[in-house]
Structure 1
Amino acid sequence: MRNLKIWFGSAAMLGVAVVAVLTLYRSGPAPAAAAASGPPAMPVPVTSVIKRTLPVYLEYSARTESIREVSLQAKVAGYIQSQPTADGADVKEGDLLYKIDERDYRAALDQAKAQAQRNVAALDYARSNFRRGDELVKTGFLAKDNYDQRVSTLGQSEAAVAQDNAAVRTAEINLAYTDIRAPFSGRLGRNRAPVGTLVGGSGFTLNTLVQLDPIYVTFNPSERELATIEAARDAGTVSTTISLPDNPAVSYKGELTFIDNSVDRTTGTITARATVANPKFSLLPGQYVRVRVHVRDEADALLVPLTALGSSQLGKYVYVVGAGGKAEQKIVKLGPSDGESVSVTGLAEDDKVITGNLQKIGPGSPVQPLPPKQASNDSKG
């Protein structure tokens, strides 16, 4: 009985072995065929290399500064009578900002004019007396001493009139100082001298006035970039573009107008300044902005999307569609960027650059370039 069980077990094992051999025999060619056909081509979006002239910029953080800022003070003493222009108003050159009580100064002017009129009358008499004396002394009817006295009187009268004229001009100037006007166009600050305040003679500031158009934008290039900026200045006008960090869509055009004469030893930077048109007064002194300085144009630059770049131990690279529809890796050197694109060296102008599915391919991987519309939809997805 025991021998019979052993026989049946051996027969069963033999049957399983035969089935396994037959299965291997039948399915054996399939893996070989799969290996021979290779993996399927990976669909990838591609783009052409763009060749064009690329403007090259240097970009910095910057601050705006007023070209002129003055503290408004009274030249003459008196009480503030009125403030025709409100706090924070935009004013033009010559606009009346403050009015000081002028009564004392108008009275002084009237007094000076009256004194001048009296002395003018005295001068007219002295001149008439001198002319008569001049005729009499020639005929001997007037003594020489009396003639000399008339000459002296005439000289004193002329001096008195000249002094009176100076007094009248001084009184007119002092009267004009009772009107405090804008020395240039700009924007007023906060008023510090309400109506009724006694001002003048103590350095008291009534208000501040800043010029806003044009306005300065000050930034600090490094000493390594100084040669590039100087070369741009030698070539002509250096244009600048100023933008706000929180609203880059709004920009202002300017021009590089100043580079300081020494480098800061502590920071290794130099102070530079652009002058920017600001007709709407939308930029205010002290604002944080970004400034781009146009230093040159790079002709025949080859541009690829930033999304096409990869990194390895050898540096930056891109994949292009190579011979036989396989991905070919090319090491590139980066140049200036322009928005979502960057200039590179190491590519040919007719290369088709792969811009998507970069993690799913490698050098030699079969790829299938997608039509432009489908590639655009895949990139959005």
Structure 2
Amino acid sequence: MAPTSPGHPRRSARQTRTTSIGRFPAGLLLLGALLAGCSDDKEAAGQSPAGASQAPQVEVVTVTASDVPLTTELPGRTRAYQIAEVRPQVGGIIESRDFKEGSDVEEGQALYHIDARTYRADVASAKASLARAEASLHTSNLQAKRFKQLVARKMVSQQNYDDAVATVGEGRADVASAKASLTSAQINLDYSVVTSPISGRIGKSSVTKGALVTASQDTSLATVQQLDPIYIDVTQSASEVLRLKRELAENRDASAAPEQAPVELVMEDGSVYAAKGKLQFADVSVDEGTGMVTLRALFPNEDELLLPGMFVRARLTEAVAKDAILVPQKAVSRDNQGNANVMVVNAESKVEAKQVVIGQAIDNQWLVTSGLNSGDKVIVSGLQKIKPGAAVQIANSEESVEQNTSAQPSATEDDSSENDQAKAGNNQ
């Protein structure tokens, strides 16, 4: 063991180890405090803008009031604009069929020829009767003129003259009758050529060459239909008509659709017909069996895509809601009582819940009849992150840009803050 100096008492190894161990943690604590101070300053400087941007972002739709047409979709069938069943007006044997089945025919075009020999003979007979009547009238006129001169000289009796005058009258009547008979015979002769009563498309023929037909028979020879334009007959329940009339009477902000309002047509496969039609009329009575009212619309059909009897759906404009407001359906929720509600962003950029009354659905929107005003900002996205009274940022408008700009410091301010913190750490 080494000797100890009188002025310095000897320390044991245990004491030396204890002092060294006690100094080491103190140094660590001092260094840790300095680092923690720098870290706290940096976090405090960095949290200022982060805290300001904690408000959730939402997307809004600014609603505006406008006139909105109220439509309804009704089932219906296509009907030919004109339809005519071709029937013979005289009897006889069909000599020829002069059209192609399924083709377009014009009004007055010859369709069938009936054996006309008897009708031509009737015309000839009527002409002969007319000639005989005219000759007899001429003779009667001459005799009446002679008797007029003789009766003045007392050479014939007045009775004879009166009979001659009466004979002239009978002759004139005979001529008129003969002319009428000739006209009738000529008409029957003309009827031996069966013509199309209207322009349109003709269907199949029910008779062929050689068939015997009679005047005004029950079975038609063929049917002609005009397809351009074409009618669409739709049906609506009487209760719906009554409901609409009551709503129009109670709602001052709605008006009935104008006459001949446009009608949109939905085909059986779901496609929309290119051209729009016009409402022509609504039936004045209700069908007793079905309780339905028939409405008729007129559509152009130049390419003849629509054929009679097709099932279609017509979208009709029933009324026009004045100064109406539409909101996306996804913006509307319902509470436990079933009331419709929307969330709006007020002037203070805070969420406000509004209870609304909604009407019918128009595409993917609801018609709001009360509860909203024009200019309200309705939240349509981010609803799961908000609650009434919470501050929000509008993400899809110029207002959101202004909010973000005021909430975030500039890059120069961030750099200056970091430099100050670095200098303070070096001095320590």
Q: TM-score, normalised by structure 1?
A: 0.74
Once the two structures are TM-superposed, the CA of residue 224 in structure 1 deviates from its matched residue by 4.4
Retained in 2: the 8 A contact 1:66–1:215?
A: yes
SS of residue matched to 1:45: strand
Query: Is the Cα contact below 8 Å between 1:229 and 1:295 reproduced in 2?
Result: no
**Cα distance, 1:59–1:38 mapped onto 2, change above 3 Å:** same
Unmatched tracts of structure 1, length 5 or more: 1-33, 376-381
Equivalent residue for 2:378, pick from 348, 353, 361: 353
Q: CA deviation at 1:205?
A: 0.7
Question: How many residues get paired?
Answer: 337
Question: 1:208: how far off?
Answer: 1.5
Deviation of residue 101 (structure 1)?
Answer: 3.1
Residue matched to 1:203: 218
Residue 285, structure 1, aligned to residue 308, structure 2: yes
The answer to whether the Cα contact below 8 Å between 1:241 and 1:251 also exists between their aligned partners in 2 is no
Task: Give the match for residue 254 of structure 1.
Answer: 278
Is the CA contact 1:50–1:304 (under 8 Å) kept in the aligned structure 2? no
Shift of 1:104: 2.4
| Offset, 1:109 | 0.8
Residues 1:220 and 2:205 are matched in the alignment:
no
SS of equivalent residue, structure 1 residue 371: coil
Residue in 2 that maps onto 1:320: 344
CA RMSD of aligned residues (A): 3.6
Match of 1:244 in 2: 266
* 1:338 paired to 2:362: yes
**1:256-291: CA deviations, max 9, x gaps?**
413323464x65x44132341435244333222223
The equivalent residue for 2:326 is 303
**TM-score (norm: length of structure 2):** 0.66
Shift of 1:69: 2.9
Q: 2:274 is aligned with what amino acid? A: V
- 2:298 alignment counterpart: 276
| Contact 1:60-1:291 within 8 A present in 2 as well | yes
2:397 and 2:386 mapped to 1: Cα distance? 22
Indicate conservation of the 8 Å contact 1:63/1:219, yes or no: no
Shift of 1:153: 4.4
Q: Is contact 1:327–1:367 with CA below 8 Å preserved after alignment?
A: yes
Matched, 1:134 2:148: yes
Which secondary structure does the structure 1 equivalent of 2:272 belong to? strand
Aligned residue identity for 1:166: A
Matched residue type, 1:319: M
Larger Rg: 2
| Deviations, residues 172-206 of structure 1 (Å, cap 9, x unaligned) | 11112123333334332222122332222332310
Aligned-partner SS, 1:170: helix
Which amino acid is 1:205 matched to? S
Deviation at 1:229, TM superposition (A): 5.0
| Aligned counterparts of 1:39 and 1:235: Cα–Cα separation in 2 | 50
Aligned-partner residue type, residue 225 of structure 1: V
Q: Retained in 2: the 8 A contact 1:242–1:289?
A: no
**Deviates further, 312-321 or 116-125:** 312-321
Q: What SS does structure 2 have at the residue aligned with 1:247?
A: coil
- Secondary structure in 1 aligned to 2:205? coil
**1:77 paired residue number:** 91
Query: What residue ranges of structure 2 are gaps of 5+ in the alignment?
Result: 1-46, 249-253, 401-428
